[in-house]
């Protein structure tokens, strides 16, 4: 029970002054594709190659993360109400990067992810992810070992919806992602961090084991923090698939460089959320 952060606070992470997510863009038709292999690549660490980091404007590699724990938080989960994870219970100076929604599909970010072997998790909203180049963009990131998780069909404020409507939003995206990637996600993030008991019941009913919130939000140049104005061990960092239109001209890769620089400056490195949760 020690690492089981089962904080069933009915509140919402948005109350932590952290801004949520942008509205998804309208959704053109997504081409049907065969499901990708059912399991992501094995866990891995960020690249240790200084030249790779220099290519993306970083002075030095991220430090190697500590070995992952023997047991993940969700391992004991036997169905029912998912666990709420606001921060991963670790003592090491390690944080977890997450990208939400899926609207921006910058090809340069694919190169960057490949180059740096950056571990991160994706919480995809169907209406945003299928727009433009569609889900195919995320195949590449997934093939690098990065997990795809649920962020609803249309990015509503779930607290305003009936239990049935919440179930459609959450379980509908479970099915979409299972069809597309061959695996039903175990992690869910409610848009804007807003949820209630009905959200947890709905998510639990379609296989979600943990609701993943966050403690830091990446803006354009730096992060905003829920506590103490700085990163803390185990913080989950919320970032978005965003491009110049949302970032005042800054590209996705530049934003990620800014984020990694800040993580390094604070003495942290990045590990893979799925190895812990």
Closest approach of Cβ 92 to Zn ion, in Å? 28
Closest approach of Cβ 224 to Zn ion, in Å? 16
Looking at 29-37, 84-92, 94-102, 193-201, which segment touches Zn ion (CB under 5 A)? 94-102
Closest approach of Cβ 54 to Zn ion, in Å? 32
Query: 100 or 126: whose CB is closer to Zn ion?
Result: 100
Q: Which residues contact 46 (CB under 8 A, 6 or more apart)?
A: 61, 62, 64, 65, 116, 117, 118, 119, 269, 270
100 lies in the binding site for Zn ion (CB under 5 A): yes
126 lies in the binding site for Zn ion (CB under 5 A): no
Query: 90 or 148: whose CB is closer to Zn ion?
Result: 148
Alpha-carbon separation of residue 198 from 13, 204, 270 (angstroms): 16, 10, 33
Burial class (CB in 10 A: 0-12, 13-18, 19+), 232: middle
Looking at 17-25, 43-51, 87-95, 208-216, which segment touches Zn ion (CB under 5 A)? 17-25
Closest approach of Cβ 151 to Zn ion, in Å? 6
What 3-state class would DSSP assign to 101?
Answer: strand
Which one among 21, 116, 177, 239 touches Zn ion, defined by CB under 5 A? 21
User: From CA 232, how far away is CA 94, in angstroms rounded?
Assistant: 8
Closest approach of Cβ 22 to Zn ion, in Å? 7
Q: Which residues contact 249 (CB under 8 A, 6 or more apart)?
A: none
Query: 18 or 113: whose CB is closer to Zn ion?
Result: 18
User: How big is the site for Zn ion, counted in residues (CB under 5 A)?
Assistant: 4
Q: Count Cβ atoms below 10 Å from residue 87 Cβ, excluding itself.
A: 20
Partners of 94 in beta bridges = 269
Residue nearest to Zn ion (CB): 21
Closest approach of Cβ 238 to Zn ion, in Å? 9
> What is the secondary structure of 150-200 as a DSSP string?
E--SS---GGGS-HHHHHHHHHHHHHHHHHHHSS--SEE--GGG---HHHH
101 lies in the binding site for Zn ion (CB under 5 A): yes
Query: 101 or 274: whose CB is closer to Zn ion?
Result: 101
191 lies in the binding site for Zn ion (CB under 5 A): yes
190 lies in the binding site for Zn ion (CB under 5 A): no
Looking at 6-14, 29-37, 101-109, 197-205, which segment touches Zn ion (CB under 5 A)? 101-109
Alpha-carbon separation of residue 2 from 6, 88, 90, 94, 151 (angstroms): 10, 12, 11, 19, 28
Which structure tokens are listed for 245?
């239109």
Q: Which residues bind Zn ion (CB under 5 A)?
A: 21, 100-101, 191
């Amino acid at each position: 029970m020690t690492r089981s952060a089962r904080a069933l606070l009915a509140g919402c992470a948005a109350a932590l002054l952290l801004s949520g997510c942008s509205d998804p863009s309208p959704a053109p038709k997504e081409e049907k594709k065969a499901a990708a292999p059912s399991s992501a690549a094995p866990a891995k660490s960020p690249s240790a190659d200084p030249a790779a980091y220099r290519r993306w404007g970083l002075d030095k590699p991220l430090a190697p993360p500590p070995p992952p724990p023997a047991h993940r938080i969700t391992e004991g989960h036997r169905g029912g109400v998912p666990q709420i994870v606001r921060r991963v219970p670790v003592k090491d100076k390690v944080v977890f990067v997450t990208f939400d929604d899926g609207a921006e599909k910058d090809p340069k970010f694919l190169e960057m992810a490949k180059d740096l072997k950056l571990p991160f998790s994706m919480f995809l909203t169907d209406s945003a992810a299928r727009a433009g180049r569609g889900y195919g963009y995320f195949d590449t990131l997934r093939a690098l070992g990065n997990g795809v998780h649920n962020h609803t069909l249309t990015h509503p404020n779930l607290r305003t919806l009936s239990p049935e409507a919440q179930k459609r939003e959450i379980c509908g995206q479970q099915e979409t992602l299972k069809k597309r990637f061959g695996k039903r996600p175990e992690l869910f993030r409610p848009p804007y961090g807003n949820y209630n008991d009905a959200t947890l019941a709905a998510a639990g009913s379609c296989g979600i084991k943990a609701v993943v919130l966050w403690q830091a939000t990446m803006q354009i140049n730096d992060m905003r923090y829920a506590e103490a104005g700085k990163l803390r061990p185990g913080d989950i960092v919320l970032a978005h698939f965003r491009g110049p239109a949302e970032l005042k001209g800054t590209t996705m890769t530049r934003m990620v460089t800014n984020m990694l620089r800040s993580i390094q400056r604070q003495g942290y490195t990045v590990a893979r959320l799925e190895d812990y949760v």
